[in-house]
Amino acid sequence: MTYILGIESSCDETAAAVVIDGKTIASNIVASQIDLHAKHGGVFPELASRAHVEAIDSVVDQAVNDAGIAYEQIDAIAVTQGPGLVGSLLVGINYAKGLALMSGKPLLGINHLEGHIYSLWLTQPFAEPEFPVLVLIVSGGHSELLLMTGHGQYQRLGGTIDDAAGEAFDKVGRLLNLPFPGGPNIERVAKMGNAHAYDFPRALRDSSYDFSFSGLKTAVRREVTVPPSGSRSRRRRGAEKRAQLRSDVSVNDVAASFQVAVTDILVEKAARAAKAYGATEIFMAGGVSANQLLREKMRKETDLPVRYPPLNLCTDNGAMIAAAGYFRYEAGLRSDLSFDVLPTWPL
């Protein structure tokens, strides 16, 4: 049995997990900073790194304890190297390096996006896919369409040219005065709304495999807010925060119409790419893949099998980093102790 310790601190979760043979979760600890960032309506980088520093020691310790193993039994340490917030990434990386140095265990720097993909390997029961697989990663920081042709082998087909899908959910959530993060809260109120109430734009519909969500967010803002008064510079500085919801707007209808616009475009492009590249399956991962409408539409609109992680593995966690680490470890890959953060590391 191979035990990989996975450490994740790229954004607003301090997370650690122990995974056996890349598939079985022995422990999975996530210390979320949602409450900390909620009052700012988004992730505040300096607060995030400070909170990681405070949490990391006990999170890793708990992961090892919960797995029922001693530190000596760990075969390798996998840690998120990027992409993400520099200050946050550094906390996890430096901690992992310290552990590796003390214990002499091998160290593996993992791409966070690859981690999201390997969260699929943690679903039970698991059957190894036949490659190529079409992968849609949709999270707070990323919207990527990739063709996975083998373990660790990816061809990027497209991605967002502005906001990520999750970021759009979070920004629209803020416009609608919903709690942070916007994604799950928009999904919750959308259930009570009419998805046909507003016809929001679907950008780049027929061209490429790229996404654009910033126009959609702007269209929602125009529709639902009272135009701010005051000087232009004042308006620019705090437009989103100060935007006032029009009294005749149904939050539920806007949420439902927005959600359907985002999921339409994600599903359309993923289904088209899967067909064009002869994919055998569609894999979805990342925080937005928790969205039930997205899951349902993806299943309906393609005749390929669709997989997504269990809800607790959609958002950031250490188990996915450990799972990705296992495949790198088995392939004989190792990271040098001197490796650096890669805040904008494409897959």
Binding site for ligand KG4 (CB under 6 A): 11, 139-141, 166, 169-170, 181-184, 187, 286-288, 290-291, 315-316
Structural tokens at position 244: 């006032």
Closest alpha carbon to 142 in 122, 164, 120, 123: 164
Question: Which entry of Zn ion, ligand KG4, none binds 74, CB below 5 to 8 A by partner kind?
Answer: none
141 labeled binding residue: yes
Nearest distance from residue 139's CB to Zn ion, in Å? 4
Question: Which entry of Zn ion, ligand KG4, none binds 187, CB below 5 to 8 A by partner kind?
Answer: ligand KG4
116 labeled binding residue: yes
CB-nearer residue toward Zn ion: 85 or 219: 85
Question: Which entry of ligand KG4, Zn ion, none binds 22, CB below 5 to 8 A by partner kind?
Answer: none
Contact present, 177 and 225 (Cβ < 8 Å): no
The CA-based angle 242-243-247, given to 5 degrees, is 125
Contact present, 75 and 26 (Cβ < 8 Å): no
Q: How far apart are CA 268 and CA 270, in angstroms?
A: 6
278 labeled binding residue: no
281-285 and 306-307 as β-strands: parallel, antiparallel, unpaired? parallel
Question: Which entry of Zn ion, ligand KG4, none binds 290, CB below 5 to 8 A by partner kind?
Answer: ligand KG4
The set of residues, in sequence order, having a beta carbon less than 8 Å from that of 311 and lying 6+ positions away, is: 290
Buried b (16+ CB within 10 A) or exposed e, 190-208: beebebebbebebbbeeee
Q: Which of 119, 139, 291, 302 binds Zn ion (CB under 5 A)?
A: 139
CB-nearer residue toward ligand KG4: 37 or 97: 37
CB-nearer residue toward ligand KG4: 82 or 286: 286
Contact present, 57 and 301 (Cβ < 8 Å): no
The CA-based angle 52-53-59, given to 5 degrees, is 65
CB-nearer residue toward ligand KG4: 109 or 286: 286
Question: Which entry of Zn ion, ligand KG4, none binds 27, CB below 5 to 8 A by partner kind?
Answer: none
Nearest distance from residue 180's CB to ligand KG4, in Å? 8
Buried b (16+ CB within 10 A) or exposed e, 309-331: beeebbbbbbbbbbbbbbbbbee
Question: Which entry of ligand KG4, Zn ion, none binds 325, CB below 5 to 8 A by partner kind?
Answer: none
Nearest distance from residue 230's CB to ligand KG4, in Å? 30
Q: How far apart are CA 244 and CA 264, in angstroms?
A: 28
170 labeled binding residue: yes
Q: How far apart are CA 145 and CA 210, in angstroms?
A: 8
Which residues from 295-324 bind Zn ion, rule CB under 5 A? 316
The tally of CA atoms less than 13 A away on the side-chain side of residue 56 is 24
CB-nearer residue toward ligand KG4: 9 or 139: 139
Amino acid type, 189: V
CB-nearer residue toward Zn ion: 187 or 316: 316
Question: Which entry of ligand KG4, Zn ion, none binds 95, CB below 5 to 8 A by partner kind?
Answer: none
Which residues from 79-138 bind Zn ion, rule CB under 5 A? none
* Binding residues for Zn ion, total number by CB under 5 A: 2
> Does residue 252 interact with Zn ion by CB under 5 A?
no
For the annotated binding site for Fe cation, the residues are 112, 116, 316
Please report, as ranges, the residues that interact with Zn ion according to CB under 5 A: 139, 316
For the annotated binding site for substrate, the residues are 137-141, 170, 183, 187, 291
For the annotated binding site, the residues are 112, 116, 137-141, 170, 183, 187, 291, 316
